[in-house]
Structure 1
Amino acid sequence: MQTVVTAKLKLNTTPEQFKALRTTQLAYRDSLNYVSQYAFEHGKMSNAVRLQDATYEEIRLRFHLPSQMACSVPRQVGASYKTLWTKVKNNAVHRKEGKTKKRYKGLDKAPKFISPTLTYQYKKDYTFKKEQQVSILTLEGRVIVPYTGYNKHVALIQRGTEIGASKLWYDKPKKQFYLLVSLEIETADPTPETHKQVVGVDVGMRYLAVTATMQGDCTFHSGKQIVPKANHSARLRKRLQKKGTRSATRRLVAISGRERRLKQNTNHVVSKRIVLQHPQSLIGLEHLTDIRERTKRRKGKSAKQRKANRTFSKWSFAELHSMIAYKALLHRSMAIKVDANSTSQACPKCGHTCKENRPNKGLLFVCQNCQYTLHADLVGARNIAMRTLLIRQDWRGTGLLSVRAFCVGR
């Protein structure tokens, strides 16, 4: 089984190499916007082959991109348009079903690419050399740049691990280039017998994650120290957006980077703790796709309701799930997604499900049928664990993962 991890390599460039890489990045971004405008004017085209046939020569002539980069540009634009078309179709279905009244406007005008991040193809645009050096293609030819990175990732590269495409990312505040390289690591194929334990993970704001096992063990990963910082950033961002000056915009950029790093680091720490505490486990996660459209809270328009919506949207739970998924595969575990419907309203003892089981929507769960009382987040984690156990039993009996399970990281 293949698991993909991303190695972040710091490029130690000279001033001449820095200038060459930056020029290449900006030319690549301009070519993306040119092809995006062409696709929009020709029926919002998403076919990468047709886009390449129509724009390849102009990309080479106008932006002077090497041949492989000129092929990568239409593919990237085509993939972006396919994603937007999927969102348009899903939005039409949701509007027809009455789940939302808003019309998706992503294709009302040509998508504009802001980030100068460009894509390199391995052995065509970049190759690794000895003594921790990498050869990278630019508009002026190849440059050989020394790099540093996480020791385990560097060892995997030098060992000859299967390497895929990479992205050249520029950290503007630090004026530093990084190469984000995809590495495919071979892991053992999962079987029901290798997963000796079942774990349910419930995510939230008061507690970023709550885990529960079928043996009654539980762990609370608190967000007490993190959430106030996120709330402060939100208040500060609101004031700066209202001010609207150039200095306020610069502060907004700095705050957004700081907040992104805070969330990413916290999610890394929480996911690592969960995976290391439960080795060789089948980890159940909530299937939260389209959760905002599926919940009724979006229909409120009062100031209180809007504030509640902002609170629920502050944390990156999808990122936390993805980190748990790929770390689990590296530790002989596996994460799957289960149905998230009514996990915090269903009684894990008698099965009774109703909104009244959570008085005032608080943290206390009190079953109206059997009076079973417990922390609401722990109830959610236990329900997820039981649903994961059912999937594991089906898997063991049939040899196939149930269609109710959404496998992560495969």
Structure 2
Amino acid sequence: MHQIITAKLKLHTNTEQTLLLREVSLAYRDALNYTSQRNFENGKSANGTKIQKLVYLDLRSKFSLPSQMACNVPRQVGATYKGLLTKLKQNQEAIKKGKTKKKFKGLDQAPKYVSRTCNLNYLRDFTFKNNQQVSLITLKGRIIVNYSGYNKHLELIKKGSRIKGAKIYYSKPTKTYYLLVSLQIELPELKPTDLKQTVGVDVGRRFLAVTTDLNNKSQFFSGKEIIHKANKYQRARKTLQQKGTRSATRRLVALSGRERRFTADTNHKISKQIIKPNTLFGLEDLTHIRERTSPKRKGKKASKKPKKAQRKQAKWSFAELHFFLDYKAVFVKSLAIKVDANYTSKMCPKCGHVSDNNRPNKGLIFHCEACNFELHADLAASRNIALRTLLFRQDWERTGILSVCPDVSNVEAKAERLDRYSELRWSSDTSPRLLVREAMGS
């Protein structure tokens, strides 16, 4: 079992080294834009090898890129086009099904690259030296630069962790170059017996996360502060966009970075409080959740409310929180898996009844119309997630195979799992005890 992390190393460059890094990063960016335009004009291919044959000689002669960089540029452009083509295909399918009328415009013109970055290959474009030094390739040969970083990351590099690749990154506010290095860390394989607890994690916007374990110990993380901040930034953004000056544009860029850092910091703090050792965490599979739950606009009078709801939905950073939980769990001998998100907020954790009426007005109170069980809606959802996570764990113990993400492509398999979920029970609010069918062997 291995985990990949990114070590952020600050490069301590002198004036000459800074100019050399600036030169190579700008040339790499210009090469990306040139390759993107050529690929756009020649069929919008996502095949890196095909793109390389088209532009390799030009990248070497026009931009003076080293051979490995001239290979990295077409691969990066191909990956960009692959993502955009996938979105275009999904959009066309959604239009055919009548789910949307909005056309995807990501490929109406060639994608442009703005960031001053540069992808590097280990042992070819960069190598680590003793005394916290790194050798970096430039357009005029190699340079040796001192670096610093997080102590744990520095220790991993010294111990010889497997290095996958790196990227030169330039920070405009601090006018500093960084080296972002991918490290692969080998970790011991986990067994079901190593995970002593099971925890369900429900994510949302009013409460960013609600967790509960099988002993009914719960945690609530309010999203009030982050919503307040998002509304504050939105008002400032609207004012600056109406102004439209160059200084307003610069201010918009600064605000977006500040908001992004605040959101990431909040998710880091929440994930740090949630993660516990020797625990199996269940997360909802929320793939394409925005497309499935996008508010519908009805007339001009209702235009402001759906627009506000869409803005809140766009700012919902559940994927980032899931990512932080996933990679932090393995370092404390825990594991995070994804379970079906279907009806977690509409299913009664006590009797298994599913109905839209269990959430009156989609509020924070869950009231089961079948058994009159009442609970906080997000807590009820986290209980359902914990139950489904337990089911995955039981299958893991029985078969020896763990699926970290459910396959929702098969309709029959999905229906079978939902049927099994309905048979799970949370016995009571005050003394929770899990009851499952005898066929599961527990």
Shorter-chain TM-score category? Answer: over 0.9
Question: In structure 2, what is the equivalent of residue 248 of structure 1?
Answer: 248
Question: In structure 1, what is the equivalent of residue 49 of structure 2?
Answer: 49
What are the equivalent positions in structure 2 for 1:73-112 lying under 5 Å apart? 73-112=73-112
> Per-residue deviation at 1:215?
1.5
After superposition, the C-alpha distances for 1:339-378 in whole angstroms (9 at most, x for unaligned) are 1122111111111222221222211111111111111111
Distance in 1 separating the partners of 2:405 and 2:246: 50
Question: In structure 1, what is the equivalent of residue 374 of structure 2?
Answer: 373
Contact preservation (8 Å) 1:391, 1:405: no
- With 90-99 and 22-31 compared, the bigger mean Cα shift is at 90-99
Contact preservation (8 Å) 2:294, 2:310: no
Unpaired runs of at least 5, structure 2? 408-442
Distance in 2 separating the partners of 1:280 and 1:320: 20
What are the equivalent positions in structure 2 for 1:119-130 lying under 5 Å apart? 119-130=119-130
After superposition, the C-alpha distances for 1:72-97 in whole angstroms (9 at most, x for unaligned) are 00111111111111111122222222
What are the equivalent positions in structure 2 for 1:240-279 lying under 5 Å apart? 240-275=240-275, 278-279=276-277
Residue type of the alignment partner of 1:292: R
Contact preservation (8 Å) 1:13, 1:146: yes
> Per-residue deviation at 1:404?
5.8
Question: In structure 2, what is the equivalent of residue 203 of structure 1?
Answer: 203
User: Secondary structure of 1:220's partner?
Assistant: strand
> Per-residue deviation at 1:298?
4.5
Question: In structure 2, what is the equivalent of residue 291 of structure 1?
Answer: 289
Question: In structure 1, what is the equivalent of residue 307 of structure 2?
Answer: 306
Contact preservation (8 Å) 2:117, 2:168: yes
Higher alpha-carbon Rg = 2
Question: In structure 1, what is the equivalent of residue 419 of structure 2?
Answer: none
User: Secondary structure of 1:109's partner?
Assistant: coil
Question: In structure 1, what is the equivalent of residue 231 of structure 2?
Answer: 231
Distance in 2 separating the partners of 1:43 and 1:400: 43
Q: Would you say 1:172 and 2:172 are equivalent positions? A: yes
Unpaired runs of at least 5, structure 1? none
User: Secondary structure of 1:260's partner?
Assistant: helix
TM-score in terms of structure 1 length: 0.95
Distance in 1 separating the partners of 2:146 and 2:296: 50
Distance in 2 separating the partners of 1:344 and 1:337: 16
Residue type of the alignment partner of 2:282: G
User: Secondary structure of 1:229's partner?
Assistant: helix
Distance in 2 separating the partners of 1:293 and 1:151: 41
Residue type of the alignment partner of 1:291: I
TM-score in terms of structure 2 length: 0.89
Contact preservation (8 Å) 1:13, 1:145: yes
After superposition, the C-alpha distances for 1:194-252 in whole angstroms (9 at most, x for unaligned) are 22211111111222111111221111122333331222112111211122111111111
What are the equivalent positions in structure 2 for 1:388-407 lying under 5 Å apart? 388-402=389-403, 405=406
Residue type of the alignment partner of 1:15: T
Question: In structure 1, what is the equivalent of residue 384 of structure 2?
Answer: 383
Say if 1:46 and 1:312 are closer, same or farther in 2 by CA, change over 3 A: closer
Say if 1:403 and 1:225 are closer, same or farther in 2 by CA, change over 3 A: closer
User: Secondary structure of 1:165's partner?
Assistant: strand
Q: Would you say 1:337 and 2:335 are equivalent positions? A: no
After superposition, the C-alpha distances for 1:263-282 in whole angstroms (9 at most, x for unaligned) are 1111111111111xx31111
- With 221-230 and 352-361 compared, the bigger mean Cα shift is at 221-230
> Per-residue deviation at 1:296?
5.1
User: Secondary structure of 2:321's partner?
Assistant: helix
Question: In structure 1, what is the equivalent of residue 63 of structure 2?
Answer: 63
Residue type of the alignment partner of 1:306: K
Residue type of the alignment partner of 2:354: T
Contact preservation (8 Å) 1:347, 1:367: yes
- With 86-95 and 372-381 compared, the bigger mean Cα shift is at 86-95
What are the equivalent positions in structure 2 for 1:340-355 lying under 5 Å apart? 340-355=341-356
Question: In structure 2, what is the equivalent of residue 194 of structure 1?
Answer: 194
What are the equivalent positions in structure 2 for 1:10-49 lying under 5 Å apart? 10-49=10-49
> Per-residue deviation at 1:313?
2.2
Q: Would you say 1:317 and 2:357 are equivalent positions? A: no
- Calculate percent identity across the aligned residue pairs: 57
After superposition, the C-alpha distances for 1:17-73 in whole angstroms (9 at most, x for unaligned) are 111111111100110111111111111112111211221111010001111111100
Contact preservation (8 Å) 2:31, 2:73: yes
User: Secondary structure of 1:369's partner?
Assistant: coil
- With 354-363 and 212-221 compared, the bigger mean Cα shift is at 354-363
Distance in 1 separating the partners of 2:313 and 2:321: 15
**Aligned residues: CA RMSD:** 1.6
Distance in 1 separating the partners of 2:187 and 2:404: 23
User: Secondary structure of 2:341's partner?
Assistant: coil
Q: Report which structure shows greater RCO (CA 8 Å, sep ≥6).
A: 1
Report how many residues are paired. 405
User: Secondary structure of 1:228's partner?
Assistant: helix
Distance in 1 separating the partners of 2:59 and 2:243: 40
Contact preservation (8 Å) 1:211, 1:220: yes
After superposition, the C-alpha distances for 1:92-130 in whole angstroms (9 at most, x for unaligned) are 222222222222121121111111211011111011111
Contact preservation (8 Å) 1:263, 1:315: no
Residue type of the alignment partner of 1:361: K
Distance in 1 separating the partners of 2:340 and 2:295: 19
Distance in 1 separating the partners of 2:404 and 2:260: 34
Say if 1:153 and 1:403 are closer, same or farther in 2 by CA, change over 3 A: closer
Distance in 1 separating the partners of 2:371 and 2:160: 59
Contact preservation (8 Å) 2:339, 2:385: yes
Residue type of the alignment partner of 2:86: T
